[in-house]
Each structure stands twice: as C-alpha cells, then as structure tokens.
C-alpha cells in the first residue's frame, strides 16, 4: 500500500510517500515558511538529488496542494494520480488521555484532537489543518492519526502525576503525557529485533537525543516513565528548551522581568537550553566546534547536556530495577560518538563497557557496548514515518 505520511508543524509540512509492505520511501520532502512570502517546497529525487521551488503558500491547504502536485508531476512525480495514495497517516502531537493508540480519523476523532488544543496550542491546530486539507483535496481517502503521546499512556499514576492539587489534574488534565512516543516505540522494538532478544522481557532505556530530547524507561514492552511532561519542555536540556528547572525559579523570573505566561513560554521554549547557555547555537555541531576553539560557555552547555542525560539514565535504571539495553537515537544520539562516549564512560558503575571502534559509526544500527558489557548499548536510527505508515496500513486494513 502506498501511504502518504504527513507531519504538519505550525509553519511547515514534512511528507514521505512510503510503501508499507517493505518500507520503501518512494518520495520525500517538505514545505517550509508557510504563510510567509518566501515559502518553499523542497524534495528529494530517487537518485538523491534535491530540488527547492519557491512558491507562495499562504496556508497549510496550499502547502498540501503543492505536495500532492509534486507527487503527481509528470516529470518529478512518482504517482500518476491521487488514486494511488491508499491512505494518509498524520503525526498528531497531543492525544492527552483520549488516545492510547493510533486511530482512523473520523469527525469524532477530530473533535477530540481539538479538545487537546489548550495543552498543545501550536502543534495540534497545525495537525488538524493538514487533516482538513487532505479531506478537501482527496475526499474519501482514509486518514489515520498517530499520536506522539500514545505510547506513554501505559505509565502508572505515580509516574505521570505531578504533585500539584489533584483538582488541577481532574479539571485541566495537568499531568505528564510524554512525547516522541512513536520514536521510543520504534527504536526499543527494533533494538530487540536487532539483538535477537524478546521485546516483552527487557528493561530498556531509550535516549531520543535530537533538537528536542527525551528519555523513556520501558519494561516488558511498555513505557513506564518518560522525561517530557504535559508539554515537550520538561526533562533533558534541549536545543532551545530548558528541560527540568525549579518551578519557583520561573515565578521569580516572571516577577523580575515582568513576564506574562507567553513571555515566559518564549524564554523556556526558544531562548533556553544549549542556545541559552552557550549563547552561540542550539546545534550540537556548532557547540562541538566552539569547544574545540576553547569557548567555555559552549563547554558548560555540553557538560550540562551530558550530565542531564546521565541523571535520567541513572534514575530510570532505578525505576526499572536495572537495565538490559540502552538505545541512542535521533540527530545527536545517532551522530555524535563523543556524546555517547562521554555518557557511557560514566556508566561503568553499571558494568557498561564501550567498543570505541564500533562507537565511531554514525547514523546506522550498531552495538557500541563491549563484548563484556553487562548492558547492551545500541544505536538505532529512528524512523517515525515508517511507524506511521505501518500503523496506517494496518488500521485501513491492508499490510
């Protein structure tokens, strides 16, 4: 089945056309700067060459229209008509407690995704615009929603509750939900296939370390705790997000700077993390270069970044009563041997040893722990789009 996977952000749309039976990517690309005069569509050709076309796309419907146009373009396209798209799978960021698995999109599902707007005011509305654009442009094509939060719905209350007044949970749904669920689900299962061990009998810690980052504790195939919370701002130090911070520091800062909720939101989401500490960049490649050039704030940012990862691995080892497998994934996790080495060498107390040669590789599946290591440490490139395509194919009734 040919499945169109759409990931609609507030000003962007990423797409992949995937053959669900074998995971082949037939086409991929994205639209950026939706709503701005210089919005553009970029796509990758089968031979790997890339093309960028500047087109004015005032809204998501126009963006999706251009994606469909390029997919069916006589020269650049890979399908002749929309009829060849069997179904569309959407990444939907927040499902609160309403969704614990992927679902076929119906008017009722759309209503529930809209009910989650207050906790995901940037992401869920963008996801809905993508769904509505497809409904308008390819009427009748089945659509499936795959939620970032769904995998973590198995967490016990002691892990997902915040020690705020209980009424705030009841009235507003304030609790930990966790994100990157599709990635944590994929890499944990894939790691077990790769290692040839049964998924349902492992204690796994998955480290999704990208521009956003989260760590999840998985016991016997289910998520039991995760570092992100009500929003993707909690937990690890990230590219521009603060991660864990004393809530009292935030109310103090609001008073000092005269910030309202949106002003504070801007600080903790856009101006903090690696960018905020280094003052240079949110990109770890820039930080590594700055450290090599002797920049001390870049070094502090890296030290804090690694330290926070180390603390979560320690905490989740305690939660799981030990660990069998640690997985590194996403932009930094897949591509930074330095980060992996810095973290793993401090885990020697768990009986972890590192195969330094194996750890040199970037962006491919590899065991990086030594043969004598008590815990297997692996790198598994994440593939959220493949999971979305597979869930979609399964739900619409094929393979």
241 neighbors 269 (Cβ within 8 angstroms): yes
Q: Which of residues 311-330 bind ligand AMP (CB under 6 A)?
A: 330
What is the per-residue burial (b if ≥16 Cβ within 10 Å, else e) of 183-207?
bbbbbbbbbbebeeeeeeebbbbbb
**Choice between 144 and 354, CB closer to ligand AMP:** 354
Pull the structure tokens for residue 81. 């008509």
**Choice between 152 and 208, CB closer to ligand AMP:** 208
**Judged by CB under 6 A, which of 28, 76, 115, 283 binds ligand AMP?**
283
209 neighbors 331 (Cβ within 8 angstroms): yes
Residue 272 binds to ligand AMP (criterion: CB under 6 A): no
> In whole angstroms, what is the distance from residue 39 CA to residue 62 CA?
11
Backbone phi, psi, residue 237, to 5°: -75, 135
Q: Of the listed 148, 324, 383, 391, which one is catalytic?
A: 148
Residue 332 binds to ligand AMP (criterion: CB under 6 A): yes
**Residue 33: DSSP 8-state:** S
Q: Which of residues 212-241 bind ligand AMP (CB under 6 A)?
A: 212, 239
Residue 331 binds to ligand AMP (criterion: CB under 6 A): yes
Supply the minimum distance, in Å, between the C-beta of residue 288 and ligand AMP: 6
**Choice between 98 and 212, CB closer to ligand AMP:** 212
Residue 355 binds to ligand AMP (criterion: CB under 6 A): no
Residue 62 binds to ligand AMP (criterion: CB under 6 A): no
**Choice between 278 and 353, CB closer to ligand AMP:** 278
- The 10 Å Cβ neighbour count of residue 311 is 14
Active site residue 244: no
**Judged by CB under 6 A, which of 11, 211, 269, 295 binds ligand AMP?**
211
Interface map 238-257 toward ligand AMP (x if CB under 6 A): -x------------------
| Only segment of 2-10, 79-87, 209-217, 318-326 that touches ligand AMP (CB under 6 A) | 209-217
**Choice between 130 and 333, CB closer to ligand AMP:** 333
The size of the interface with ligand AMP (CB under 6 A), counted in residues, is 12
209 neighbors 199 (Cβ within 8 angstroms): no
Residue 366 binds to ligand AMP (criterion: CB under 6 A): no
> In whole angstroms, what is the distance from residue 218 CA to residue 151 CA?
10
**Choice between 95 and 210, CB closer to ligand AMP:** 210
**Judged by CB under 6 A, which of 29, 130, 210, 235 binds ligand AMP?**
210
Outline where the chain has alpha helix (H).
60-71, 107-115, 123-137, 157-160, 166-172, 181-195, 247-257, 261-270, 273-278, 284-292, 296-320, 330-335, 337-345, 356-359, 384-395
Strand order in the sheet with 50-54: 50-54, 40-44, 24-32, 13-19, 2-8, 87-92, 143-147, 103-104
Supply the minimum distance, in Å, between the C-beta of residue 284 and ligand AMP: 3
Residue 360 binds to ligand AMP (criterion: CB under 6 A): no
**Interface with ligand AMP (CB under 6 A):** 210-212, 239, 283-285, 330-332, 335-336
Name the residues annotated as catalytic.
148
């Amino acid at each position: 089945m040919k499945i169109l996977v759409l990931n609609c952000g507030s000003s962007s749309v990423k797409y992949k056309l995937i053959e669900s039976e074998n995971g082949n990517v037939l086409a991929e690309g994205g639209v950026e700067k939706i709503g701005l005069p210089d919005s553009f569509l970029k796509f990758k050709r089968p031979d790997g060459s890339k093309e960028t076309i500047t087109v004015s796309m005032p809204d998501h419907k126009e963006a999706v229209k251009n994606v469909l146009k390029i997919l069916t373009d006589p020269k650049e396209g890979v399908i002749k008509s929309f009829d060849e798209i069997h179904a569309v799978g959407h990444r939907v960021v927040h499902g609160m407690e309403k969704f614990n698995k992927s679902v076929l999109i119906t008017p009722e599902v759309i209503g529930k995704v809209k009910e989650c707007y207050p906790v995901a005011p940037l992401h869920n509305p963008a996801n809905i615009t993508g769904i509505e654009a497809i409904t308008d442009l390819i009427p009748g094509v089945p659509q499936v929603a795959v939620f970032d939060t769904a995998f973590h719905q198995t967490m016990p209350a002691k892990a997902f509750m915040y020690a705020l007044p209980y009424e705030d949970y009841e009235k507003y749904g304030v609790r930990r939900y966790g994100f990157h669920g599709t990635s944590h689900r994929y890499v944990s299962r894939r790691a077990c296939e790769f290692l040839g061990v049964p998924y349902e009998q492992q204690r796994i810690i998955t480290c999704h370390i990208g521009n956003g980052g989260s760590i999840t504790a998985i016991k016997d195939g289910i998520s039991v705790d995760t570092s992100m919370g009500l929003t993707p701002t909690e937990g690890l130090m990230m590219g521009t997000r603060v991660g864990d911070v004393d809530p009292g520091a935030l109310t103090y800062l609001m008073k000092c700077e005269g910030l309202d909720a949106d002003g504070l939101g801007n600080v903790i989401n856009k101006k903090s993390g690696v960018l905020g500490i280094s003052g240079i960049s949110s990109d770890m490649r820039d930080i590594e270069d700055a450290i090599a050039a002797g920049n001390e704030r870049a070094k502090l940012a890296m030290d804090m970044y690694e330290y926070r990862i180390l603390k979560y691995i320690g905490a989740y080892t305690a939660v799981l009563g030990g660990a069998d497998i640690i997985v590194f994934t996403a932009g930094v996790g897949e591509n930074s041997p330095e980060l992996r080495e810095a973290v793993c060498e401090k885990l020697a107390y768990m009986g972890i040893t590192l195969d330094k040669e194996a750890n040199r590789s970037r962006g491919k599946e590899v065991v990086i722990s030594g043969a004598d290591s008590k815990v297997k440490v692996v790198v598994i490139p994440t593939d959220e789009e493949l999971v979305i395509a597979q869930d979609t194919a399964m739900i619409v009734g094929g393979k």
